[in-house]
């Protein structure tokens, strides 16, 4: 069995080396295929990625300019050859030590689709906490709660965290799907379209340590909130 770990990267010089070392070093009960899509970083990230590529532990697709996280992830999805897909961001908000628990239900044949929930196991649903901007963290938390509730209502599911980065599924699940989104709305498109194909995910609790915009977080409430809202509605009845 081969697990394809897909990592879209843009301007993550502070975290990319540590993240790649952790992904390469994590032990799972399968062969790993690590695919990085580097989107024209100008802060030194690309040079670090090139170092790892020369070591032969990762495959890299180089883009000439940033086209959005979703676009980079679509490129990685098209390049993947493994039996199971794991989506991995280039920051350190999530812990790669959760891989075995995320993969276990799929390997055991219990499901074809797993989400790593940042909500499960927490008493407080406001899981984002920014050291330098607690107000903005609350705004993002409320927005996430709204979108999750809306998604559950119109898709007829009871998920706690459809926006999670940790999406794990059999590559065969996405056969026949044409991915449309180029930004953070692809996170929602993936869940929406797999559910519409009949793959309702199991959620597994994962570790999460949020970072603020000052620390490199790229999501923006109004810009990305608008595209997410439209994607949730669009992919319920169209595409």
Tell me the pLDDT of the chain (239 aa) as tens digits: 999 999 999 999 999 999 999 999 999 999 999 999 999 999 999 999 999 999 999 999 999 999 999 999 999 999 999 999 999 999 899 999 999 999 999 999 999 999 999 888 766 655 555 545 566 567 777 878 889 999 999 999 999 999 999 999 999 999 999 999 999 999 999 999 999 999 999 999 999 887 545 555 556 665 778 999 999 999 999 87
Domain assignment present for 129: yes
- pLDDT of res. 225: 81
**If DSSP codes are grouped into helix, strand and coil, which group holds residue 106?**
helix
CB contact at 8 A, 10 and 66: yes
Which residue in 131, 130, 132, 162 sits closest to 145, CA to CA?
A: 162
The reply to whether 206 falls in a domain is yes
Q: What is the pTM of this model?
A: 0.89
In a domain, 144, yes or no: yes
143, part of any domain? yes
The answer to whether position 11 is within a domain reads no
The pLDDT, as a whole number, for residue 221 is: 62
Q: Is residue 44 part of a domain?
A: no
Let me know how long the chain is.
239
221 falls within a domain: yes
Domain coverage including residue 180: 125-163+176-239
139, 221 contact by CB (below 8 A): yes
- What's the structural domain count of the chain? 1
Instruction: Indicate whether 105 belongs to any domain.
Output: no
**The pLDDT of residue 171:** 98
Q: Give which of 110, 106, 192, 105 is closest to 157, Cα–Cα.
A: 192
């Amino acid at each position: 069995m081969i697990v394809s770990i897909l990592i879209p990267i843009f301007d993550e010089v502070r975290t990319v080396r540590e993240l790649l070392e952790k992904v390469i070093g994590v032990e799972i009960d399968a062969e790993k295929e690590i695919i990085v899509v580097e989107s024209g970083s100008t802060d030194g990230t690309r040079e670090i990625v090139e170092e790892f590529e020369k070591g032969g532990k990762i495959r890299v697709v180089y883009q000439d300019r940033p086209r959005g996280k979703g676009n980079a992830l679509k490129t990685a999805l098209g390049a993947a050859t493994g039996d199971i897909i794991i989506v991995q961001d280039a920051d350190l908000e999530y812990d790669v030590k959760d891989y075995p628990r995320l993969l276990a239900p799929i390997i055991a044949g219990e499901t074809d689709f797993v989400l790593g929930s940042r909500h499960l196991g927490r008493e407080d649903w406001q899981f984002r906490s920014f050291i330098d901007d607690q107000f903005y963290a609350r705004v993002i938390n409320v927005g996430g709660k709204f979108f999750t509730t809306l998604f559950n209502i119109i898709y007829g599911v009871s998920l706690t965290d459809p926006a999670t980065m940790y999406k794990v599924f059999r590559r065969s699940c996405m056969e026949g799907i044409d991915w449309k989104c180029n930004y953070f709305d692809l996170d929602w498109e993936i869940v929406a379209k797999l559910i519409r194909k009949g793959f309702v995910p199991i959620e597994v609790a994962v570790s999460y340590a949020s970072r603020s915009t000052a620390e490199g977080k790229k999501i923006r409430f109004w810009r990305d909130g608008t595209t997410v809202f439209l994607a949730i509605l669009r992919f319920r009845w169209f595409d």
